[in-house]
Structure 1
């Protein structure tokens, strides 16, 4: 069985709600957060399969089309490959409207569970990394170790680890030997 890191997209991999970017609705609005390519390379070199699991309710709400979302993800994956040689195995998206009641939208673990089954992932040796409680809840429900990307040292929900950046989280994960 394989080990994996499941990554939320907005706020973990790329900027969102910053001075430069409000939402990512076009590839030209996609900007990596600091040292994200290096973090992905560390994880890949440590034998983790990498997946992106992202809620993209903007599609269901009509802010962008499935095709536009696909172009954003193609751009992201191509840039990661170009910068690092790392391949993201798959990007899983929930494009339903918020509160639609689907089983794929985080905090439900549907996307993680589906990927784990498809790629023979050992969930107990895997991590979910996100920047919001819904990411952490999805990881917990799936049975992953969870990492919150936050500058706050404590939060009022259960999370296994907190780091201020994906790079710092990747450094910890790769040194933990899991």
Structure 2
């Protein structure tokens, strides 16, 4: 387990923290958290976890929306999370369209490596969670502890056998509340668990 001051959760945005739109989140009012997600983050914050968002935003590269709109969406996200007592320290995003072949667009590991570098951590100290195989691939490629939540793009796996393409090292949870339960239970000292 990472040291207490090095506990950093990197969370995907659409489908993990918020509803996964059919197209793009084009307006701040379109950003809505998944039920229970803000409360799950608040519980992690209270236990000393630091949280950042890592999100692909190809709508920027495609000209669907501009940086001012993306910033307004994230301001809405921060407001709604704060209402539940949750805090995200930073938002990292890839602005590139898929055909630009950058190193920061998940499943490439560049964004996660950049987060680790900027936070003064090794990538192995990051805990990555997302709702897609793309998120899992990025986490594994960067060397992060990696989790999949069965929301957004993976909701169809709920109640089904474990996806065969997932390596055994990837933990699977129904949602962010279940992830928070798992992370918090392992943080408890021996003999304190109920």
Q: State TM-score, norm by structure 2.
A: 0.83
Larger Rg: 2
- 1 CA distance for matches of 2:182 and 2:84? 22
Whole-angstrom CA distance in 1 between matches of 2:99 and 2:180: 32
Q: Deviations over 1:41-74 (max 9, x none)?
A: 1211222210000001011111111110111011
Q: 1:170 Cα shift?
A: 1.1
What do the CA deviations read for 1:119-159 (whole angstroms, capped 9, x no partner)? Answer: 12354343110011110111111211111111424112325
Counterpart in the other structure of 1:170: 180
Aligned to 2:7: 3
The one-character-per-residue Cα deviations of 1:100-119 (angstroms, maximum 9, x if unpaired) are 11111111111111111111
In 1, the alpha carbon distance for the partners of 2:47 and 2:33 equals 21
Partner residue, 2:192: none
Q: 1:109 — aligned with what?
A: 109
Once the two structures are overlaid, the 10-residue window that deviates more, 116-125 or 128-137, is 116-125
On the 8 A contact 2:19/2:32 being kept in 1, the answer is: yes
| Other-structure match for 1:14 | 18
Q: Secondary structure at the match of 1:40?
A: helix
User: Comparing both chains, which one has the higher relative contact order based on Cα–Cα distances under 8 Å and sequence gaps of 6 or more?
Assistant: 1
Using the alignment, how far apart are the partners of 1:82 and 1:31 within structure 2?
13
Is residue 129 from structure 1 mapped to residue 129 from structure 2 by the alignment?
yes
**Would you say how many aligned residue pairs link Structure 1 and Structure 2?**
174
CA RMSD of aligned residues (A): 1.8
| TM-score, normalised with respect to structure 1 | 0.90
Equivalent residues of 1:2, 1:120 under 8 A apart: no
Distance 2:12 2:144 in 1: 14
Q: Distance in 2 between the 1:172 and 1:122 partners?
A: 22
Which consecutive segments of 4 or more residues in structure 1 shift more than 4 A?
A: none
2:191 aligned partner: none
Q: Which runs of 5+ in 1 are unaligned?
A: none
Other structure's SS at 2:179 match? helix
